[in-house]
Structure 1
């Protein structure tokens, strides 16, 4: 019983913080900033309960500039990921042809306003570097999002919040890892009928699908420790 109560409290806190940020509220409780370390270390897997941008570039400084980061400091993986979960943004060392910017300091993409912000940012990034992606997932509210921009134009958006059974935005044609799926779309013509919500042939996004798409488009961040093409360098942390 105690375990159930504690689990419920933890889930409630996570949900409250997520919605507070989603709705632009200021959370009174603020954890102490994590110390930023500059001793090189090994890559750390991430991807769950977080958002990130993948850009086909090794130019961290320009990426930081376009994202509008301030107080940028060199950081290793350990302090970078810790700060990413504390409302900062960590720009990773180069991973193959890609660099990731991860952190709750980015727009979350779970409402129309932040989707619009992300579209502008991704289009600017892909205009500069050729291709840019956004991914987000949080299992507590069943929020899942993927966005793809190529050469300055948005090609695909799928943003879904399972708790409220609604899509924030769906745009473009399904990409290769989405083909064969009948993804739930509350914005579709079919969804105007109540019968749509009782269909058993629909597919619902989850965090594993987000990782599968990320791996197909660019980088699956849950598998970083398995890679051998990550540059031995520091990343950058900013707000």
Structure 2
């Protein structure tokens, strides 16, 4: 009887993980009508439970074109970020040398989304020199960071903790990753039976995502602290 109970629990967990993957990490976000405002306002911090792209340019319209956004309209920060947490993509005013495209719809924790993001970043960086993407969602412990320079991906790291596996890992460690010994289920070390018992492994989390983002370009959780954000409206599209 105990064996049957254990098998039942294992089957339930496996089914739950499969459902989470099928539905994607954005399943909790429901599309709703957002009232778009163009009243000038101050920058809004974001980052947790979010996906964004950072591009080294001030050309918001061109970013929207490459992302193939539709129904584009001007928006302030408040309605832009609210839309990004629903079914829209918000392209921010320029932050230092960077412009961000923000929206949970950019990726939902599956390999096909990472591959699509890489293609978008390559197109952006081929035109503007450098483009990056970051994503984090604490509910299923989904995290990624990707960098493209001059049309080529130089680093990809993506991990989903709910299933305990990497989605994709590529390229050399960058400065903020050095010394972390991030889990890599594609590595030869992961083939060892005691791999999961190692105490030196580091599991990706939202704080590491922000640390990498801050080192590479912009930490969006600290926007309200910055003094180099252009005072203008952003763009919203879908």
For normalisation by structure 2, the TM-score amounts to: 0.89
**5+ unaligned residues in a row in structure 1: which ranges?**
1-14
Segments ≥4 residues shifted beyond 3 Å: 15-21
Q: Which residue of 1 aligns with 2:59?
A: 59
- Offset from partner CA, 1:49-91 (integer Å, 9 cap, x none): 0100000000001000000100000000000000000121000
Q: Which residue of 2 aligns with 1:41?
A: 41
User: Larger radius of gyration, structure 1 or 2?
Assistant: 2
Q: Which residue of 2 aligns with 1:164?
A: 163
Label 1:219 to 1:103 Cα distance change in 2 as closer, same or farther (>3 A).
Answer: same
Q: Which residue of 2 aligns with 1:4?
A: none
Map 1:171-186; keep pairs closer than 5 Å.
Answer: 171-186=170-185
- Offset from partner CA, 1:172-228 (integer Å, 9 cap, x none): 001000011100011111111221111001111110000000000000000000000
SS at match of 1:184: coil
Map 1:1-239; keep pairs closer than 5 Å.
Answer: 19=21, 21-22=23-24, 30-108=30-108, 110-239=109-238
SS at match of 1:157: strand
- C-alpha RMSD over aligned residues: 2.1
- Offset from partner CA, 1:132-176 (integer Å, 9 cap, x none): 000000011111100000000000000001111100000000100
Conserved 8 A contact 1:87-1:105: yes
Conserved 8 A contact 1:52-1:135: yes
Conserved 8 A contact 2:31-2:87: no
Conserved 8 A contact 1:33-1:86: no
Distance 1:200 1:31 in 2: 41
Distance 2:93 2:172 in 1: 31
**5+ unaligned residues in a row in structure 2: which ranges?**
1-16
SS at match of 2:144: strand
SS at match of 1:194: coil
For normalisation by structure 1, the TM-score amounts to: 0.88
Label 1:112 to 1:31 Cα distance change in 2 as closer, same or farther (>3 A).
Answer: closer
SS at match of 2:34: coil
Label 1:236 to 1:18 Cα distance change in 2 as closer, same or farther (>3 A).
Answer: farther
Conserved 8 A contact 2:26-2:104: no
